[in-house]
Chains A and B, each alone.
Chain A
Amino acid sequence: MTRIDGSLVYGEVTDRFDACIAHALQVAASPMKRKRIPAVLLAALITLLIAGGAVAIASKVGLLDLLPWFQGEQMDHLVTPVVDQTIANPMKGISFTGQEAYYDGQRVYYVIEAVPTAQDTVLAYGARLLAEDEQEARMYGNTVLGVTVQPSLSEASIPRLGLEAHRNGASILLVGTAELVSGFSPDVLEVHLTLGSHASGYDAALEQSEMTLRIPKTTEPSAQAYTGTFVNDLLSVESVSLTYTPLELSITVSYQPLLAACQGLRYVVEGSPVNSDVRDITTQIDMATGQFTDRFVIQPSGALPKEILLWVVRSEDVLILDTGTQTISMRKASLVYQDDGSVTLSTPKNERE
């Protein structure tokens, strides 16, 4: 295949496009002439608006490892860093280890890590992901070993039991979650896992092993109140409370609309969940009620952020919850959506220190 003339595909560059380039060069060359959006226009634009949480991922630090740091003594009872685990018949090529677990009497969550024991082995979970890894592994002559896990609980009354796989360097994190029916709440929950490995191209499992995780029950943490104020053109935030478990982060914000035009309108709340996967949360809220709550699903083995960001869409005011000091502050910044789906802040030039 030879070179293709781009004009045969996309046509000639349009005059409008040329004008756009000329305009961009002109505007950028005279930054002092940049116009700010007038307040009236801003008021018209705010039919969108308010808050969400964004956070960064830390793939190697266990979530439970960070709980004591996050909420101090009050969270100690939540920590279950040591998973009581037994494993029968260790398999060739893969080692499985229980990394962390949480069980509050209603919900259960656990992470086990599958690590290849040979350097040139690439792990693939099931058949539904990592097709590219498999393809590349073939190109470089590596061994591809498939991993399967079948979870079950000893008790029968489990409405659902989910399992997800996530890449973590060379290893795979297998994250299981389940919600138990009400009234069923043993002090120690046993999760049974049937582990399997198979070589690429074979349908049947070549090796199987059994693993049992015993997870003691913990209780729900209490909510933390944050102090501070946040005021911009649109609203005044008066209080924020935050509740955290290894499964969920819940933020409740009480606020006062400052513009009459805001009252009674419906707004779209946007946010990215904790741990930065692109899984947008969009919630309709009623500004007149003066309160909204957002819940963010915690992703596996992610660290809690030092700062949680709430923002007013299309304005440059970002509200920052400092999880260390439990205070609210505000700074001028705009959001930048990164290629990996995370959100970072870009501070305007005149605000930089």
Chain B
Amino acid sequence: MTREIFAEKIVLLRKTLYYVSYSMLPNPADQEDAVHECIQKGLQKCHTLKDDRALKAWITRILINECYNLLRKKKREFPAADIPVVTPTLEDTSLFDAISSLDEKLRLPVVLHYIEGYTTKEISNILRSPEGTVKSRLVQARRALRKVLEDQEEIL
């Protein structure tokens, strides 16, 4: 894949980059740092990508790695600090609150499957986890989401 085609496709994948980075990093500045690094790495290596259809999964994997790198660096620099979660500007944030309340290992499969539409097999490749693990995490996540949303309804 050429750098020009990569740049065109990346613009089309902006929503994917936004949702995945937001699901892992609560702070917009960190999301932008991760996406910036991810795009730079993608541009450096895009010539190695033989099949254009693999771009979305490939760039998602790079972005997830960058998010992990950033989280680790932050943890090392500010081990005791709690990173404040920036809530998106929405009328109803119940879905955001519910998904954000999930443990990260459950949250990422939910975002990849239910928002990005990846199959469990594809998620298994992206996260380098067995497909069985992905399936069981989705089951756990659904259960947890149902409970959180029911609790929210009761409060309302």
Contact = CB atoms under 8 A, between A and B. Distances in A.
A24 B66 CA distance: 14
Contacts of A270: 76
B72 A17 contact: no
Interface residues of B, number: 47
A135 B133 CA distance: 9
By CB atoms of chain B within 10 A, which of A17, A20, A341 has the most? A20
A29 B142 contact: no
B69 A29 contact: no
Interface stretch (A6-14, A206-214, A253-261): A6-14
Given A4-B115, A339-B65, A20 B32 contact: yes
Contacts of A336: 69
Given A10-B96, A13-B18, A25-B43, A278 B72 contact: yes
Q: Is the interface of B mostly helix, strand, loop or mixed?
A: helix
B84 interface: no
B101 interface: no
B90 A11 contact: yes
Contacts of B23: 10
Contacts of B114: 1-4
Contacts of A135: 136
A9 B96 contact: yes
Contacts, number: 104
B36 A20 contact: yes
A34 B10 CA distance: 21
Given A135-B136, A136-B133, A21 B39 contact: yes
Given A25-B7, A25-B43, A337-B69, A13 B132 contact: no
A25 B11 CA distance: 9
B11 to A, nearest CB: 7
Contacts of B115: 3-6, 9
A94 to B, nearest CB: 24
A282 interface: yes
Nearest to B130: A136
B108 interface: no
Interface of A: 1-11, 13-14, 16-18, 20-21, 23-25, 27-29, 48, 132, 135-136, 139-140, 270, 278, 280, 282, 336-337, 339, 341
Given A6-B116, A29-B3, 5 more contacts: A6-B115, A9-B19, A13-B14, A20-B35, A24-B39
